[in-house]
Chains A and B, each alone.
Chain A
Amino acid sequence: MAGQSYQFKSPVMNWLESRLPIFGMVQKEFVAFPTPKNLNYFWTFGAILTFCLITQIITGIVLAMHYTPHVDHAFDSVEHIMRDVNYGWLLRYVHMNGASMFFVAVYIHMMRGLYYGSYKAPREVLWMLGVIILILMMATAFMGYVLPWGQMSFWGATVITNLFSALPFVGPTIVEWLWGGFSVDNPTLNRFFSLHFLLPFAILGVVILHIIALHASGNGNPTGVEVKSEKDTVPFHPYATMKDLFALVCFLIVFMLFVFYAPQFKFHPDNYIPANPLVTPPHIVPEWYFLPFYAILRAVPDKLGGVLLMFGAIAVLFVLPWLDTSKIRSASYRPIYRQFFWVFVLVCIGLGYLGAMPAEGGYVIAARILTLYYFAFFLVIMPLVGIWEKPRPLPRSISESVLGKHGGVSGGGAQPAGATASPEKRG
């Protein structure tokens, strides 16, 4: 269907298309692509995340032109960027806050997936590719945070790489292999820089797979009822693109408020102290987006247990499609699951808070309770609720759900086709 079969108006385009069949593909996948018409704004985060990735890559490439990955120069070269490179402060603040905003968007995107059952058949692979992207993002962000070579960079790298030493037998060898020596030092910084440059392109590759998988099944939608006919959809362009663009600019407003007015908001002051292997900061805290996982790590008294549980917290997402026994996708029609879902959201926020607190007393007990819920949500609640729960009746189609919302007087069923067919309404 893609390729030659698409006829452009321009003979030049047809000539090119018959020799390089990508324009028909773009036309099919990014212009005509049928998109459910009832998507809400939580469905704009895919576009927002693509924007975040490209922003990080572009600012990152320019920053790499001015950055020096050497223990004696890394800190100063970042300050050189902030002071002497034209708009270097802007590039760096966009990159630094961009990483945070990237995680804000990815967590919202994932919670959207959890609420609306976006991981259920036939979208299991789409979801799993997303989990791979998350893991790659975490690795990239972690290594990026090491590059300014401040105190938190150094000690964060030391703490996190040391986690691998908990593995029996091979642990210490793996840690030395990661470090390229016997402590976090220049070889570590060099390889982290190299990998920090490489991984975003790996992410880009998986993002492309993620989009291919999305286009195989089509978008989900808030009802969880699959698209039944053309009446349920609108063409991707201009309908979804326009909505995505508006949402993206709203996202940018928040993003730029941080960049221009509170660029240090999420940045630990200790990272403006150059790395010193002889002085350990009183509290080693990772960036906010790792805090829930950090809380899980510290909730377990045993080091290996903590490490396994922390990685397990992400690994469990891989099998999520098979843990959820409910056939109903959208939590809007699942009265019981929905409540457990919102508790889960609060638990994740709570774990994030606890990750920033010292690991002592009541904080540890609270972290244990919340960690228990985190895993119970996936391993116990999801399988059981799906069996017990009596879902609310589903609408027969997307169009019917939309009619119901508006009292069924506007006769919307006939309109999408009309809208696509009326060029005067397309600006």
Chain B
Amino acid sequence: MLSSLRTLIVSAAVAGTALLTGAPVAIAAGEAPSPPSRSWTFSGPFGTFDNAQLQRGFQVYKQSCSACHGMRLLYYRNLGQPGGPEFTEDEVKVIAAGYMVTDGPDDTGEMFQRPAIPSDTFFEPYENEQQARSIFGGAYPVDLSVITKARKYGPNYLAALLLGYHEAPAGFDLEPGQYYNEYYSGHRIAMPPPLVADGQIAYDDDTPETIENYAVDVSAFLHWAGEPKLEERKRIGLQVMIFLFVFAALLYLTKLKLWRNIDH
């Protein structure tokens, strides 16, 4: 009786498990495929950012993204910080001075315009979300400060998205102002392809100016922007792990010695 009860319950559990693992995941027509995994210099336990790549990525962001997408959590000074693009102090000042910001009120109570300095946040393309939506027919270009952390697959997704624009398959209807993107959920994206031609952005170094490189470099830059302490984290992590392993080994030996004469 009891054993048959047990058999019943075990088989119910097994059936349940089979159901879970065997149940086909419904892939709706609009479901996006998972993006290809790229090798990034910052992946893995010892990964670090490639400063030159981040500088190029910033250039792509500046020329291709920043007209529509803000990064309100970043300051120009961040561009010169260790573990990032590491522009020199003077370069950061020049980059900042390229933007005008509203400051004030001054002594007479008026707001005024002045060139940005390194302690200012990145230039915001809109006064507010409503203004952006009215410009783009209801669509809102999201802030990119933590975009790689806010999307599944992070930088892989971003690079795939930027390279994922195609002609819509036959029978796939797009509204005006919509574009077909393989990796966007539902495939209907309101963002026009930002990277359209090799050479559209001039690199300062001799990296080939291809769409592929633009997409990868800007994704790396945005990953840094979302996780600016990644290098410090992995560096300290290594020290902590070495310490913990050595400490654990010593503790284990101490514990063995201590308990040696106790039958337990």
Contacts and interface: CB of A to CB of B under 8 A. Distances in A.
B196 interface: no
Interface stretch (B62-70, B110-118, B168-176, B251-259): B251-259
A253 B248 contact: yes
A343 to B, nearest CB: 6
A361 to B, nearest CB: 7
Size category, A interface: 35 or more
B259 A239 contact: yes
A401 to B, nearest CB: 10
Contacts of A413: 263
B262 A419 contact: yes
A120 interface: no
B131 interface: no
B135 interface: no
Interface in B230-264: 232-234, 236-238, 240-241, 244-245, 247-248, 251-252, 254-255, 257-264
Interface stretch (B10-18, B53-61, B87-95, B200-208): B10-18
Interface stretch (A50-58, A60-68, A254-262): A254-262
Interface stretch (A187-195, A300-308, A363-371): A363-371
B78 to A, nearest CB: 8
A272 B150 contact: yes
A259 B237 contact: yes
Given A246-B248, A260-B240, A269-B150, A83 B73 contact: yes
B187 to A, nearest CB: 15
B29 interface: no
Interface in B112-148: 142, 145-146
B255 A246 contact: yes
Contact of B261 (A260, A357, A399, A418): A418
Contacts of A399: 263
Contacts of B245: 253
A2 interface: no
A406 B149 CA distance: 53
Contacts of A411: 263
B177 interface: no
A366 B258 contact: no
Contact of B19 (A93, A366, A373): A366
B38 interface: no
Nearest to A349: B17
A242 B251 contact: yes
A287 interface: no
Nearest to A37: B264
B197 interface: no
Contact of B17 (A252, A350, A361, A388): A350
11 contacts: A238-B258, A242-B254, A242-B258, A253-B244, A260-B234, A269-B150, A340-B9, A350-B17, A366-B19, A425-B260, A427-B257
6 tightest A-B CB contacts, nearest first = A412-B263, A260-B237, A272-B150, A246-B251, A89-B229, A272-B149
Interface of B: 2, 6, 9-10, 12-13, 15-17, 19-20, 23, 45, 72-73, 78, 142, 145-146, 149-152, 226, 228-229, 232-234, 236-238, 240-241, 244-245, 247-248, 251-252, 254-255, 257-264
